[in-house]
Amino acid sequence: MSIRVVRPGLLTTVQDLGRHGLQHLGLCPGGAMDPVSLALANALVGNPPGAAALEITVIGPELLFEHDTLVALCGAEFQGAIPHNRPLLARAGERLSVGRAERGARAYLAVAGGLAIEPVLGSCSTYLPGHFGGLHGRALRHGDALPLVEDVSAERFAALKRRNGASVRWSAPPLTVPDREPIVVHAIEGQHFGLFDTAMQRLFFDTVWKVAPESNRMGFRLAGPALARISGEEILSGPTALGSVQVPANGVPIALMADHQTTGGYPRIAEIVSADVPRVAQMAPGATLHFALCSLDMARELRLDAKQRLDAALRSIAWEFGH
C-alpha cells in the first residue's frame, strides 16, 4: 500500500515530533515546524498526535492514491480543492493536488494508520542537513512511493460515518495560522539582552520585522534595521534552544527553528516563547511580525493555555471517532 508522488511541491518532507536526547552530540531535535497542526491532522484521521505525516511547504504536492485512504490536511491554507481541517476519504485512483499557500506557510497531511517509515535514532523526521530520516533522508521527489502502515482507512471512515452520516460538517480549529499582520510574537529577554544598549533594545521591540527569503527549517532571518552591540568582544559559545533569536556580527537577527544548531557563539537577544514558535513557523518569507516583551511567568501561562486549547480540540475530534 502506498501513495505515489506525482509532483513533489517546493519542500515536502516526512516529519513527526523529532528526535530527542541527542543535543549533547550536536543533533537538534528537528521534527514538525508546527507540531500543533501535525497533532490536529493526525487526530482527524484517528492517529496518535505524533505520528509521522507530510510537512508541506508553501507550494504543495500532487499525490496519487492507490487505495481508498483517509487523509487530513491541517495548518496553512493552500489553494486547491482539498478541504482543510477535516477528514477526507481519497478514493483509489484519485489525485489530490495541493496548490500554493494563501495563508500561513506549512500544512501537514496525515494518513490514517501513518506512514511506514523506518525510524532513525528514534524518529521518522527528515533531517535534511544530515541526509537521514524520513524518505531516504531527503524531500519527496516525483515518482516516490510513500509506503503506508496498514489498511485502517475503511474502518476509521466507517466509525466517522456512524456519527456524522454521509459527510463531515465540522472542522478542527486552525490554532496556529496567522490572521492579521504584523503577527505579535511574545519573547523573553535573551541571555545577552544587556549586550545591546537601550536604543537597540527598543529598536528590537519597535521594529516590524520581515521574514527574509533566506529562511529555512534551521532558522528565519529577519529583515529590518541592523542591530549593533555595545562592544564586539567574542562570547563563549553556548547552548541555544528552539526559538532563540541570535544576532550575528552583521546585525541581522536569526530566529532558530526546528533544525537549529545546538550551540552558537552569537549573542542571543531574545527567546521566543514556546507557545508562539508554531505560529512563527507558519510565516512565509515576506510575512511580518513584531516582538512583544513577555515575562517568564507569562510565557508559562501562554504555554499552558495553548496546551489546553490543543487538548480540547484533540478531545472533540476523538469523540467524533467514538473514542
Q: Which is nearer to another protein, 79 or 308 (CB)?
A: 308
- State the Cα–Cα distance between residues 47 and 89, nearest whole angstrom: 15
Q: Which is nearer to another protein, 23 or 164 (CB)?
A: 23
Tell the smallest beta-carbon distance from residue 150 to another protein (Å): 26
DSSP character for 195? G
Tell the smallest beta-carbon distance from residue 236 to another protein (Å): 5
- State the Cα–Cα distance between residues 117 and 19, nearest whole angstrom: 14
Tell the smallest beta-carbon distance from residue 189 to another protein (Å): 9
Q: Which residue has the cell 512565509?
A: 284
Q: In what order do the strands lie in the sheet with 62-65?
A: 95-97, 62-65, 2-7, 145-147
- Which stretches of 198-255 are DSSP H helices? 198-206
Chain positions contacting another protein, by CB under 8 A: 20-27, 29, 35, 120-121, 127, 129-130, 132-133, 188, 191, 235-244, 261-264, 268, 271-274, 296-297, 299-300, 302-304, 307
Angstrom CA distances, 232 to 225, 229, 247, 248, stand at 18, 7, 12, 10
C-alpha cell of residue 246: 541570535
Tell the smallest beta-carbon distance from residue 268 to another protein (Å): 8
- State the Cα–Cα distance between residues 31 and 192, nearest whole angstrom: 27
- State the Cα–Cα distance between residues 18 and 119, nearest whole angstrom: 10
DSSP character for 192? T
Tell the smallest beta-carbon distance from residue 31 to another protein (Å): 11
- State the Cα–Cα distance between residues 272 and 281, nearest whole angstrom: 12
Q: Which is nearer to another protein, 159 or 298 (CB)?
A: 298
C-alpha cell of residue 321: 471517532
Q: Which is nearer to another protein, 86 or 106 (CB)?
A: 106
Q: Which is nearer to another protein, 129 or 225 (CB)?
A: 129
Q: Which is nearer to another protein, 118 or 179 (CB)?
A: 118
Q: Which is nearer to another protein, 58 or 235 (CB)?
A: 235
Tell the smallest beta-carbon distance from residue 135 to another protein (Å): 14
Q: Determine the residue type at 115.
A: L
For 295, phi and psi rounded to 5 degrees? -85, 165
C-alpha cell of residue 219: 532558522
- State the Cα–Cα distance between residues 36 and 102, nearest whole angstrom: 19
Q: Which is nearer to another protein, 99 or 137 (CB)?
A: 137
